[in-house]
């Protein structure tokens, strides 16, 4: 189906072609668990439809939103997740980045290490309230988010999604963190680089993608060559930031979970302290101090705390763990191996930095204080500059 022309006789960016039928078709998302969304969206894409989108200059496909093409690259966009925001920054699209969820929590300080790359998340509009009218006011060309996540987070209906698709911009996104959310249903969690490549195609920035993906490949080669044998790797307990050592309540998450949220730990080949623990349908394992001591990981990492100050982290986690009657006997506490963990929302830039940080924490004798990638090379890739 061809898009209608505007009054000016041209096809606007927002009148995007969609392959694979309507963007709101249901793709058999049965067996919903936990946090869901009403009548979840799951776009099914045929191989011919995918091929057509990939052949377009500004076209791409992503579950569950299907395939989207533009006649020229989207110049303004909104993301819900910081991971998608980081992808846009990596692709040189900062000028068009309008809004995100809670911009005050965006981990933008990593960009300060990249010469000639600057981005201040404080300039973004906050969409956390889920005010649908705000999206009309922002008037972006692209909504870089999973509509199922938008429905679940904002309390929107399928009709709200359809209205925004018709009147504002197409959705394009995939919730990349597997937390047992019902709306994810049967569509598979994609890797960080697979998702990044799909977004790059939509913006027509394949060269930037290739350059940054190449840096990721170099880091993977370094880790593969230098990681110690599995038997010599530490066991890791990944604590949720909501854990309260003072109250003796802890919630652990598998360090090897799917999606981009825990990618660095998978890449670092850690031994997950929950590998033999049955958590049921919930991704979280909730326990008390005695239960944590029974697991007794070599290293404790607290998820989502990377941008806490050392003093704040010390007061909230290290000190009460050291002073706890039971937790003071934890191996990680006795050895001084309780660390701030990365944000689960990481695109290709943030992930490189967080992988380097985690490598130094987990394998200090091999990677401590070491740069795993060139800041200058990454900055040139983001700027789209010649080597």
Domains of the chain, start order: 17-204 (3.40.50.1980), 229-366 (3.40.50.1980)
Q: Per-residue pLDDT tens for 10-68?
A: 334 344 443 333 333 222 222 233 445 556 777 667 777 777 777 778 999 988 898 99
What is the spatial distance between Cα 85 and Cα 12, in angstroms, rounded to a whole number? 23
What is the spatial distance between Cα 322 and Cα 33, in angstroms, rounded to a whole number? 37
Whether the ω angle into residue 90 lies within 30 degrees of 0, i.e. cis, is no
The half-sphere exposure of 155 on its side-chain side, counting CA atoms within 13 A, is 4
Mean pLDDT of 218-234: 96
Mean pLDDT of 112-126: 96
CB 342 within 8 A of CB 354: yes
CB 195 within 8 A of CB 260: yes
Q: What is the CA radius of gyration of the chain?
A: 22
Which two structure tokens, joined as six digits, stand for 236?
């890791």
Q: Per-residue pLDDT tens for 313-359?
A: 999 999 999 999 999 999 999 999 999 999 999 999 999 999 999 99
CB atoms within 10 A of CB 360: 17
Q: Would you say residue 162 has pLDDT above 60?
A: yes
Q: Would you say residue 1 has pLDDT above 70?
A: no
Name the DSSP class of 244.
B
What is the spatial distance between Cα 199 and Cα 32, in angstroms, rounded to a whole number? 27
Q: What is the pTM of this model?
A: 0.89
């Amino acid at each position: 189906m061809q898009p209608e022309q505007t009054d000016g006789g041209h096809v606007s960016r927002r009148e995007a072609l969609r392959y694979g039928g309507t963007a709101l078709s249901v793709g058999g998302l049965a067996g919903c668990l936990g946090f869901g969304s009403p009548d979840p969206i799951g776009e099914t894409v045929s191989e011919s439809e995918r091929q057509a989108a990939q052949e377009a200059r500004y076209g791409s496909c992503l579950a569950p939103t299907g395939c989207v093409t533009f006649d020229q690259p989207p110049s303004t966009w909104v993301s819900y997740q910081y991971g998608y925001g980081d992808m846009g920054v990596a692709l040189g699209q900062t000028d068009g980045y309008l809004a995100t969820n809670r911009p005050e929590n965006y981990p933008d300080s990593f960009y300060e290490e990249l010469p000639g790359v600057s981005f201040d998340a404080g300039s973004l509009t906050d969409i956390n309230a889920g005010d649908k009218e705000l999206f009309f006011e922002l008037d972006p060309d692209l909504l870089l988010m999973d509509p199922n996540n938008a429905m679940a987070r904002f309390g929107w209906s399928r009709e709200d999604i359809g209205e925004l698709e018709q009147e504002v911009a197409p959705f394009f996104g995939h919730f990349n963190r597997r937390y047992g959310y019902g709306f994810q249903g049967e569509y598979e969690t994609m890797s960080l680089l697979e998702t990044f490549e799909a977004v790059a195609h939509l913006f027509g920035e394949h060269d930037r993608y290739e350059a940054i993906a190449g840096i990721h490949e170099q880091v993977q080669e370094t880790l593969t060559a230098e990681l110690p044998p599995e038997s010599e790797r530490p066991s890791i307990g990944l604590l949720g930031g909501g854990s309260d050592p003072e109250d003796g309540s802890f919630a652990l998450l598998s360090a090897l979970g799917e999606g981009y949220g825990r990618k660095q730990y998978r890449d670092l080949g850690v031994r997950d302290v929950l590998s033999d623990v049955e958590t049921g349908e919930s991704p979280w394992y909730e326990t008390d101090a005695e239960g944590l001591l029974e697991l007794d990981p070599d290293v404790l990492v607290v998820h989502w705390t990377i941008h806490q100050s050392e003093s704040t982290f010390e007061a909230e986690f290290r000190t009460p763990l050291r002073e706890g009657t039971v937790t003071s006997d934890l191996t990680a506490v006795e050895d001084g191996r309780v660390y701030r963990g990365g944000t689960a929302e990481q695109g290709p830039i943030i992930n490189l930095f967080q992988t380097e940080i985690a490598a130094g924490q987990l394998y200090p004798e091999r990677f401590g204080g070491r740069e795993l990638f060139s800041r200058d090379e990454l900055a040139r890739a983001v700027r789209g500059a010649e080597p």
